[in-house]
């Protein structure tokens, strides 16, 4: 990709916006609608009202008859915490720096969770009870956030309210854990149970095993339990005489909690059910008719701005979400976007752009397999069967493809004709126009939103300490140019030998964020980049630990035997003395190095000695090193 193309796509958000909303008195607020969010976790649109033939969801199906159903609603991540940070702020997690699962960042003072604005307008705001925003909730967001939070606890019954309720029973742990599954579904009748063999919606990328079928069945039964819970909340509104002046949103945070769904950017991971019921009193002239299905594209970052719009509150300029209902509703989106970054102990930078028909995926780390070993999903029965059958050579081709050593750089799917997204059309001339359109939309989004996922996590952490928040990392005096340079090198890193010259030049860049991608790209080229060994060896002394780690990886992949020892030493030095996320980067490279890492087996074991810093702040590093050691020791035991 040329510099000019990136510059053309670099539409910058400049200036710092200070938000101010004048809060009316309760007397004027009393005419505003109440709003209830009924949210749940880890489910796709497996509901009767969304056309699923097996779903047993009578309460939500009834709600759908009175609601607007959005058939093209998507979350910005396939995992809870990053997308929840976006839902509560109306901003992309990659803009805020909340994109890595189980990270923690700080918000700038002018980025405010939207319930603060509702409270300023006179609303009572309650959250029952999950937050999980990946930042410390600022003061004044909630009147109450707890397991007891409820609109019934507001001090004045004439005060409008915004109340959030979240069902955790259908979380992936409800599928994986026998005890939780039984507890959540304990009240289901015999007629509400499912026959796992009769479920025709079972995805083709799962193994046809009893355990995997059981997992799919449990997903449906957990959803039925959730349906009853949601119906109970609706009953409470009716009991309190509030049903006819309360707007109800129903949504899920991301897709089903199973492999190749949760954590992924396929529709199985990011396409979610969304319904909005608006009582007649609050329907404007442009409000869609209840009971209809609408194919308008909606992003999860639009939820908050839409609540503000329905309450008559202007959306702050800093928010990236767009209201799709109410006074401030604008033009429909042409595209929705999503991001995958670190999932617990593993990095895999992937970006998504989608219109109503086509899905584009960019794999910024194509040398990583789809199914990297991660502690949490590996606990599930479906994942265990996938690995077992793959190792035995018995996995069908569709399921086996996700064990390929590499991923394609680009993926393109026609979701209308290929809803499971199995047929990659990126190289199909007949779909070239769609590929170019969505590729460019993705590049514009990356530069316009200042995608912090393209900056290595250790660098973000260090710069946050100086600036005060990650949001500002690409908004400093040189932020425009740095954003373009980082994005260009991130793309070049997976372009192969044709980018060799640019990647070598990147090693001389004044910013470590660019040098990092230069080294990563040379490592991706592998053997043909052996001519760069001298430059990469010099980079082992870079001031940035993450650049040193990337250079060491490149040397290990280059085939230069003389470079193996200094590369391993650089990695173990970082593992021994680096900061938390620097250590994780080094551990991952050692894990990926396989047999090349055997000479430093002792140093890897030493890294696991009970040291407070490693164990208190480096549990993910411990997981990766343990995995690497297990693999090496297993290989050693089975060697002839």
In a shared domain, residues 122 and 268: yes
Q: Name the residue range of residue 591's domain.
A: 455-638
- What's the pLDDT score for residue 285? 82
Nearest to 409 by CA among 392, 427, 382, 391: 427
The per-residue pLDDT for 456 is: 98
**Is residue 93 domain-resident?**
yes
Domain count, the chain: 2
323 with 462, same domain: the answer is no
What pLDDT score was predicted for residue 414? 98
CATH code assigned at 598:
1.25.10.10
**pLDDT score for 310:** 97
pLDDT tens per residue across span 233-258: 999 999 999 999 999 999 999 999 99
Residue 299 and residue 159 share a domain? yes
48 belongs to a structural domain: yes
Which alpha helices (H) appear in 409-532, and where do they start and end?
432-448, 457-467, 479-492, 500-506, 512-525
> Which distant-in-sequence residues (6+ apart) come within 8 Å of 498 by Cβ?
none
Question: Does residue 62 lie within any of the structural domains?
Answer: yes
Boundary (domain end) residue, out of 314, 330, 346: 330
CA gyration radius, the chain? 25
Same-domain check for residues 250 and 107:
yes
Residue 151 lies in a domain: yes
Domain identity same for 113 and 262: yes
Going by C-beta distance under 8 Å and a sequence separation of 6 or more, which residues neighbour residue 77?
83, 86, 93, 99, 254, 270, 338, 339, 340
* CATH, residue 113: 3.40.720.10
Which tokens in the block code for residue 360?
């584009």
Is 357 among the domain residues? Answer: no
Question: In the chain, which residues have pLDDT < 70?
Answer: 1-30, 611-617, 636-640
Sequence-distant contacts of 471-475: CB under 8 A, at least 24 apart: 471/95, 471/96, 471/97, 471/107, 471/108, 471/111, 472/108, 473/97, 474/450, 475/13, 475/14, 475/450
**Parallel, antiparallel, or unpaired for β 271-277 and 161-167?**
unpaired
| pLDDT score for 27 | 40
Residue ending a domain, choose from 289, 306, 330: 330
Q: What pLDDT is recorded for position 560?
A: 96
Residues known to be catalytic = 80
Task: Kindly state whether residue 370 falls inside one of the protein's structural domains.
Answer: no
Q: Is residue 444 part of a domain?
A: no
pLDDT of residue 634: 86
- Cβ(67)–Cβ(250) below 8 Å: yes
Report the pLDDT value the prediction gives residue 640, as an integer from 0 to 100. Answer: 31
Residue 465 domain-assigned (yes or no): yes
Domain end: 330, 357, 387, which one? Answer: 330
């Amino acid at each position: 990709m040329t510099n000019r193309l990136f510059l053309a796509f670099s539409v910058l958000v400049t200036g710092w916006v200070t938000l101010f909303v004048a809060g009316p008195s309760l007397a004027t607020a009393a005419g505003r609608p109440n709003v209830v969010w009924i949210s749940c976790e880890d489910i796709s649109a497996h509901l009767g009202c969304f056309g699923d033939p097996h779903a047993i969801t009578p309460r939500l199906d009834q709600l759908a008859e009175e609601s607007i159903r959005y058939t093209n609603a998507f979350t910005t991540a396939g995992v809870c915490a990053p997308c929840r940070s976006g839902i509560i702020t109306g901003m992309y997690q990659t803009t805020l720096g909340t994109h890595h699962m189980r990270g923690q960042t700080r918000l700038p003072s002018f980025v405010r969770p939207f319930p603060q604005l509702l409270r300023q307008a006179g609303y009572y705001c309650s959250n029952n009870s999950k937050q999980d925003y990946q930042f410390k909730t600022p003061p004044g967001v909630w009147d109450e956030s707890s397991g007891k939070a409820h609109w019934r606890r507001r001090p004045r019954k004439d005060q409008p309210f915004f109340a959030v309720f979240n069902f955790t029973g259908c979380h992936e742990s409800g599928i994986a854990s026998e005890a939780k599954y039984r507890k959540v579904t304990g009240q289901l009748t015999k007629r509400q149970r499912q026959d796992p063999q009769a479920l025709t919606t079972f995805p083709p990328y799962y193994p046809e095993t009893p355990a995997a079928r059981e997992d799919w069945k449990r997903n449906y039964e957990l959803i039925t339990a959730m349906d009853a819970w949601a119906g109970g909340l609706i009953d409470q509104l009716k009991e309190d005489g509030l049903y006819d002046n309360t707007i109800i949103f129903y949504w899920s945070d991301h897709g089903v909690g199973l492999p190749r769904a949760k954590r992924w950017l396929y529709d199985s991971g990011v396409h979610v059910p969304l319904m909005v019921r608006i009582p007649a009193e609050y329907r404007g002239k442009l409000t869609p008719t209840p009971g209809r299905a609408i194919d308008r594209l909606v992003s999860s970052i639009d939820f908050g701005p839409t609540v503000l719009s329905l309450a008559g509150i202007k959306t702050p300029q800093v928010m990236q979400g767009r209201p799709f209902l109410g006074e401030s509703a604008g033009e429909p989106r042409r595209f929705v976007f999503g991001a995958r970054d670190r999932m617990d102990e593993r990095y895999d930078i992937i970006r998504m752009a989608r219109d109503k028909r086509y899905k584009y995926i960019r794999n910024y780390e194509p040398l990583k397999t789809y199914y990297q070993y991660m502690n949490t999903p590996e606990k599930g029965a479906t994942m265990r069967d996938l690995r077992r059958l793959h190792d035995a050579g018995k996995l069908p081709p569709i399921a086996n493809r996700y064990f390929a050593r590499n991923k394609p750089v680009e993926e393109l799917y026609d979701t209308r004709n290929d809803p499971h997204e199995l047929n990659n059309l990126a190289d199909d001339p007949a779909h070239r126009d769609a590929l170019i359109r969505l590729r460019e939309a993705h590049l514009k989004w990356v530069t316009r939103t200042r995608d912090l996922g393209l900056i290595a996590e250790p660098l973000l952490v260090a710069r946050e300490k100086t600036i005060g928040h990650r949001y500002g990392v690409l908004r400093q005096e040189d932020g425009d140019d740095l954003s373009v340079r980082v994005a260009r090198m991130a793309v070049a890193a997976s372009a192969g030998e044709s980018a060799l010259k640019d990647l070598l030049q990147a090693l001389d860049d004044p910013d470590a964020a660019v040098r990092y991608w230069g080294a990563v790209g040379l490592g991706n080229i592998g053997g043909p980049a052996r001519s760069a060994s001298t430059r990469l060896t010099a980079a082992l002394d870079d001031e940035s630990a993450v650049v040193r780690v990337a250079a060491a990886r490149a040397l290990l992949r280059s085939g230069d035997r003389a470079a193996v020892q200094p590369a391993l030493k650089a990695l173990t030095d970082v593992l021994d003395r680096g900061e938390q996320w620097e250590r994780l980067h080094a551990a991952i490279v050692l894990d990926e190095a396989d047999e090349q890492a055997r000479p430093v087996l002792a140093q890897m074991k030493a890294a696991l000695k009970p040291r407070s810093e490693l164990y208190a702040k480096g549990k993910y590093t411990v997981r990766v090193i343990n995995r690497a050691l297990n693999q090496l020791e297993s290989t050693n035991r089975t060697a002839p």
